[in-house]
Amino acid sequence: MCSLFPRIELRTRLVLVIHRVEERKPTNTGRVATECLVNSEVHVRGHMDRPSDAIAVPEGSQPVLLFPHEDAVPLVDLAPKLAAAGKPVTLIVPDGTWRQASKVRNRVPGLKDVPCATLPAGGEPSVYRLRSEAHEHGLATLEAIARALGILEGDEVRRALEHPFRAMVERTLWTRGEVETKNVTGGIPEGALRHDPKSGLARERLS
């Protein structure tokens, strides 16, 4: 996957707040976003033996928490106001299950008073097919980040992030024997293995 990751420099800073359990999952997508975005960082929370660290927001930057809390406002309405104020955005994105993400505002110091924003309702459905989704319009973390940055920075940023996301999803499905080689974004790396559902063993891809 690494060869497909772009290195994108943006005015918007991404802070990924990932739950410690989510961090270990091979199907996690939030980490992919931080690999692509130069101006990003990761905070791991949920450790039983220590509280979460506070998130430092650069002076002059406007923090925005991407989560649909009751007081959240549409990001498309908030973005023009931030642009008019000349403030760069620190986009804080929780990563984990819906239940884990919903606790970030209260569990991470300094986030209780940070304004929350939501993505437009009724957007394109998720193409993430690696896990079941509890919410009808739920998105993978990278999809949510890509769409948010599409609003804040432009559609070209969204497209640049969605390309490796699609490759990750389709290559994973290919290893399970659920997608044909010709339908995989970015192709299949040389020597990759896939699971043969008939034998229960891994076998090399067909040329």
pLDDT tens per residue, range 52-85: 888 888 889 999 999 999 999 999 999 999 999 9
In the DSSP assignment, the letter for residue 63 is E
- The predicted pLDDT at position 136 comes to 60
pLDDT tens per residue, range 82-115: 999 998 999 999 998 888 889 999 999 989 999 9
- The predicted pLDDT at position 207 comes to 40
Distance CA 6, CA 130 (A): 22
Within the chain, how many helices (H) and strands (E) appear?
7, 8
Place of tokens 């769409």: 147
In Å, how far from its chain's centre is CA 125? Answer: 15
pTM of the model: 0.86
Q: Are the C-beta atoms of residues 5 and 104 closer than 8 Å to each other? A: no
pLDDT tens per residue, range 111-159: 999 999 999 987 788 888 776 655 666 789 999 999 999 999 999 999 9
Distance CA 123, CA 187 (A): 27
